[in-house]
Chains A and B, each alone.
Chain A
Amino acid sequence: MADRNKTRSKIYERLNNPELRCKTGCGFYGNPAWRGYCSVCYREVYLKQQRARAASHSREDALAGGSQNLQTEVAHEEEEAGKLKFNKFEEKKKFQLESKKQSVKKLFKKSPGRSSLPDGIPAANFTLSPVEPQKSATSFREFLKTLKKPAAQDVNDKCKLFVQRILNNPSLKVEEQSEMAMSEHLQSHQLFQNQPQEVIDRTLDGVEKYIMTKLYRVVFCPASTDDEATDLANQKRMRSFNWITPQHLDAAINPDSDKVQQLIEDAQQDLVEINTKRAPQDKLACVVRCCKNIYKIIHLSTPAGGAVSADDFLPCLIYIVLKANPTMLHSNVQYISRFCNPNKLVMGEAGYYFTNLCCALSFIEKLDAQALSMSQEEFNRNMYGDESDGTRAKPNLKQNPLSHSNLEVLGTLRERQVKLKEDALVLQEQMTEFRNNIVKEVDAILAGVTSKGDKYLKSTLTTM
């Protein structure tokens, strides 16, 4: 018993030995095969070396002694654990590669107290990674080409850093993230002080697009908020409002005209598309397109013509939103208001349409009998379907030929499904029959064989 305790404590001693841990101090165990790093850290170090080598190859004349330098650095790294080395290494490389000094260093220094992990990663990111296979990266590079060279490099580096920083801090709250996004905007401003407004706007757009596309998965509809629940509730609510007609909202829509019908569908399509885009400004563009279509709808529906005022516009937008019932509208709205360039949201035309969309959503969220100027009983009747289904379904079909054709398709699909099932059952029967037959045959043969064998046995036995 005592012996066992002893060995156990020995094992603990060994396990707690700091030399066994990863050299970067990340807390995991290292391995001699990975030069004392844990698997994750080793991969980073390895990748970094690879990239650094590739970079130094491509800039051979610029970095005559570069690779040598690198190798000694790496050798150092193997002996000494640590962040310090990483920093030194990074700075050296930066000195060689960068004309502008401010950006990365500044950003880097501004984030003390981050976990130890990001310390290594910026270095890995430092070279313009030429092997990024992603679509967003290519489009971003296209965009960078339009910028002047040192500036482009700066922007690129900073974006990558920023993306990494957020990805490495998954615990951050949404508000903090949007805060960081905002400060990123500001820092870009500082950099381009001497450039004309247009260039700055374009740069900001590009940066925003890139960053948000990269971070989309993390920051869209984050788990820390109840966006998802709201989405579901909203969707359900909108579905229960399928009985609402333009007349209920006093929306100036003439549903009889084919042209209007087409435009309504276009507008709905635009709303649905919001969810398929990633960058905030692309989402906004969808909203704008939808609103332009709505203007056309109202224009066509009012015979007198004239300009479209907000009095006409908002009811129509609400109607379109209700009909389209776009998925995750609430999340999208939240996402845009959190991460879109605030200047755009406050001032521009897109901001106006977005605000109207917010209004529409908010209106729908608390839509009640009073808002539709009908009695509570009538409202309830419509809401909870006391009316016979037939009377309700018909006008719906009339209004929306698309859903009608969809229903037809669904019907035929169902028929075919049923037939398929029947066929499958027949096939199953046949198969069981076939199996039974086989079993019978085999049994019969076996019986024959054994009886023969018995005879044979008997005969042999008797002869013996």
Chain B
Amino acid sequence: MATASRKNQFKVVLLGEGCVGKTSLMLRYVQDKFNDKHLTTLQASFLNKRLNLDGQRVNIAIWDTAGQERFHALGPIYYRDSNGAILVYDITDEDSFCKVKNWVKELKKMLGEDIALCIAGNKIDLEKDRHVDASEAEAYAKTVGAKHFHTSAKLNKGIEEMFFELSKKMLERQEKNDAKVPRDGMVERGTNRRKNVVIVDEQPQRQGGGGCCGGGS
């Protein structure tokens, strides 16, 4: 059945301030490249990765997002329907860690517990310039139920583990959800989809309303 083979497909969004290394993380993970001028693919904002998890084939679609402050309000459009999110901050930039906290708050508010979270402290190759306390970040991650990783796209550290862990989390969540769904799974999925559609409908409109006021002032 179609839905069965699509079961292990997950959508993961990368969130974080501009220049914290979201794209680099993603490129390192999917193509094992860093700052390479001879990239085979032009685009690096949407990539697919297949992996094998305990004998299960999992396909994750990784969505890069624009991190600039001016695009912050567009977040909900990016992360709706996503199964997991990786929140990236730069360990040399305290501000970017505050942004992560904002993102977490927002995600929890919008998606509740439906989303698996990972927090990545990136650029550990610049350890000497560290401005975010490692233990503090880990403690924070714990309080929001996210896993914390120390990563470096340049040195290829911690990335594989992070995506692996996230995939495992998403898989667990899916199994839990499947168990909740009664035997009539077909109907249940149908309603889920319908819900998605409604969300798609409402999101831009709601924001549009806000925008008009903003523009008029």
Would B190 and A334 count as touching, CB distance under 8 A?
no
Contact in complex: B73, A309 (CB < 8 Å): no
B77 engages A305 (CB within 8 Å): no
Report the minimal beta-carbon distance from A357 to chain B, rounded to whole angstroms. 10
Query: In whole angstroms, how far apart are the Cα atoms of A390 and B65 in the complex?
Result: 39
Rounded to whole angstroms, the CA-CA distance of A41 and B137 in the bound complex is: 74
Q: Does B156 contact A (CB under 8 A)?
A: no
A81 at the B interface (CB under 8 A): no
Does A70 have its Cβ within 8 Å of any Cβ on chain B?
no
Tell which of A197, A305, A307 has the most Cβ of chain B within 10 Å.
A307
B207: chain A residues within 8 A (beta carbon): 362, 365-366
| A363 and B35 alpha carbons, distance in the complex (Å) | 30
The answer on a CB contact under 8 Å between B212 and A307 is no
Neighbouring A residues of B210 by C-beta, 8 Å: 366
Please determine whether B211 and A362 come into contact, CB atoms closer than 8 angstroms.
Answer: yes
Contact of A182 among B41, B65, B193 (CB under 8 A): B193
How close is B78's CB to chain A, nearest CB, in angstroms? 6
A346 pairs with B81, CB closer than 8 A: yes
Q: Please pick, from A292, A359, A367, the residue contacting B211 in the complex, using a CB distance under 8 A.
A: A367
Most buried by A among B11, B45, B203: B45
For chain A, the bracket of interface size reads 35 or more
Contact residues of A between 263 and 311, Cβ < 8 Å to B: 292, 295-296, 299, 304-311
- Within the complex, the shortest CB–CB distance from A330 to chain B, in Å, comes to 8
B212:A175 contact, CB within 8 angstroms: no
Q: Are A175 and B78 in contact, with the CB atoms below 8 A?
A: no
A338-B208 contact, Cβ under 8 Å, with A307-B27, A363-B71: no
Number of A-B contacts (CB under 8 A): 155
Docked complex: A51-109 residues within 8 A CB-CB of B: none
For B, the interface residue count at a CB cutoff of 8 angstroms equals 57
Interface of A is mostly: helix
Contacts of A333 in B (CB 8 A): 204
Instruction: Decide: A250 and B77 in contact? CB cutoff 8 A.
Output: no
Query: In the bound complex, how far is the Cα of B73 from the Cα of A192, in angstroms?
Result: 42
Where chain B touches its partner, the secondary structure class is helix
From residue B14, how far is it (CB to closest CB) to chain A in Å?
8
Bound together, the chains give a CA A362 to CA B73 distance in angstroms of 9
Whether B197 lies near A337 (C-beta < 8 A) is yes
Q: Cβ of A299 and Cβ of B196 under 8 Å apart?
A: no
Shortest CB distance B24–A (Å): 8
Tell me the residues in window 295-331 of chain A with beta carbons closer than 8 Å to chain B beta carbons: 295-296, 299, 304-311, 313-315, 330
A401 at interface by CB-CB < 8 Å:
no
Q: Which residues of B contact A295 (CB under 8 A)?
A: 42-43
Asked if residues B193 and A342 are in contact (CB atoms below 8 Å), the reply is: yes
- Given the complex of chains A and B, what is the CA–CA distance between A368 and B210 in angstroms? 11
CA distance A311 to B78 in the complex (A): 13
CB distance from B59 to the nearest CB of A (A): 8
Give the B-binding residues of A (Cβ under 8 A).
175, 178-179, 182-183, 186, 189-190, 192-193, 197, 200-201, 230, 237, 250, 292, 295-296, 299, 304-311, 313-315, 330, 333-334, 337-338, 342-343, 345-349, 352-353, 355, 358-359, 361-363, 365-368, 370-373
Can you list 19 contacts pairing A with B, beta carbon distance less than 8 Å? A175-B201, A178-B194, A186-B189, A305-B39, A307-B41, A308-B42, A309-B23, A309-B44, A310-B22, A310-B23, A313-B43, A337-B197, A338-B197, A347-B9, A352-B63, A353-B46, A362-B211, A370-B70, A372-B70
Apart from A342-B197, A362-B208, list 16 A-B contacts with CB within 8 A: A175-B197, A179-B197, A182-B194, A186-B190, A193-B1, A292-B43, A307-B27, A308-B45, A309-B45, A347-B9, A355-B63, A362-B77, A363-B70, A363-B74, A365-B212, A366-B73
